[in-house]
Amino acid sequence: MLQRIESIKEELKKLNPVNQDDVEKIRIHLLGKKGLVTLLFEDFRNVSKEEKKNLGQVINTLKNEVQEKIDTWKQSLSSNAKRETNIDLTLNEPNQEFGTRHPISLIKNELYETFKKLGFTIYEGPEIEDDWHVFSALNFPEEHPARDMQDTFFIEKNPDILLRTHTSSVQVRSMEREKLPIRVVCPGRVFRNEAISARAHCIFHQIEGLYIDKNVSFADLKQTLLYFAREIFGEETQIRLRPSFFPFTEPSAEMDVSCKLCGGIGCSVCKYTGWLEVLGCGMVDPNVLELNNIDSKVYSGFAFGMGLERIAMLKYQVKDLRLYFENDVRFLNQFKNY
């Protein structure tokens, strides 16, 4: 019997399975019902009592060695199978379609870089806000129509909580928390209860700027906006400021840029005026400064705000605002070269 045991050990050393089927055949050959190791246990019954103790240990050791070897082969061949591929490495590299940045992301990044050159930093805030940060701290009177349900999404269980209608709420947070002087741009998504059309949407993106320091003037605002317009729309761009009204700025203005398509002569895009409206701006109302614990007799500032979709529409000549939200690959592929 010892000779048979040694013979099995020698055979085990020579075995080299190449797949799981080979391993299974070896298992049956050695440990199956009629396997060589199994037969050793059957013949062990006929061994004398004096030999059983030592011989039993030898057979058990052999069985354990065979089982460990089989387990090792299985694990090794299983790992190799996972690494195997059916790729033909001689084939040419397949054509891969690369994605593109969304036009809103493109224009946002361009605006970031533009205002960073002027010393502005990025400042962000929550989309779910309270009445104070969205309205009251910005000098909105109680009866202002923007507080009406037709414009604002209020949280039903708490009328003081709402989805922000502009990123001016982030400007309020910067005035509360930051040390003067403040020079920030506040990007983000905003929400208004409006019907969705080619020119309007209930969700859109804004970026607003705020600069507060001593002796800040309207001339500083104008030069900042002129620099922004020429960086985004081209060196030949002209701007004009028209008087307007906002609760949080005084004086207030709407800013137009010269139409890039017609060179200011007039076309269907600019409605034959030669100008395109892009943003609202003005000097920060002293009431807003005082509401945010800033001494309006010492400090002054300017603010401006624009819709990213509007800027992207003018820069990329997109006529339907809904395209920004539909994720149509055909539309997005047009921005590969930007």
- Per-residue pLDDT tens for 151-185? 788 887 777 898 999 999 999 999 999 999 999 99
Q: What is the mean pLDDT of residues 40-56?
A: 72
Question: With 70 as the cut, is the pLDDT of residue 87 above it?
Answer: no
- Per-residue pLDDT tens for 96-125? 777 788 999 999 999 999 999 999 999 999
Instruction: State the chain's mean pLDDT as an integer.
Output: 85
CA distance to 25, 84, 96, 102, per residue, from 92 (Å): 40, 19, 12, 31
Q: Cα Rg for the chain, rounded, in angstroms?
A: 38
pLDDT band at 80 (very low <50, low <70, confident <90, very high): low
pLDDT band at 83 (very low <50, low <70, confident <90, very high): low
Contact 308, 206 (CB under 8 A): yes
Question: With 90 as the cut, is the pLDDT of residue 37 above it?
Answer: no
Question: With 80 as the cut, is the pLDDT of residue 270 above it?
Answer: no
The predicted structure's pLDDT at residue 211: 97
The predicted structure's pLDDT at residue 298: 96
Q: What angle do CA 150, 322, 337 make, to 5 degrees?
A: 145
The predicted structure's pLDDT at residue 149: 60
The predicted structure's pLDDT at residue 157: 74
pLDDT band at 127 (very low <50, low <70, confident <90, very high): very high
Question: With 60 as the cut, is the pLDDT of residue 85 above it?
Answer: no
Every domain of the chain and the residues it spans:
2-83, 103-335
Q: Please report, rounded to a whole number, the percentage of residues in the chain having pLDDT higher than 70.
A: 93
Contact 247, 135 (CB under 8 A): no
Looking at domain 103-335, does it have CATH number 3.30.465.10? no
The closest alpha carbon to 232, from 124, 322, 117, belongs to 117
Q: What angle do CA 233, 238, 242 make, to 5 degrees?
A: 115
pLDDT band at 82 (very low <50, low <70, confident <90, very high): low
Other Cβ atoms within 10 Å of 170 Cβ, number: 24
Question: With 80 as the cut, is the pLDDT of residue 44 above it?
Answer: no
Question: With 80 as the cut, is the pLDDT of residue 129 above it?
Answer: yes
Q: What angle do CA 188, 155, 323 make, to 5 degrees?
A: 40
The predicted structure's pLDDT at residue 81: 58
The predicted structure's pLDDT at residue 123: 94
- Per-residue pLDDT tens for 6-24? 787 788 788 888 888 888 8
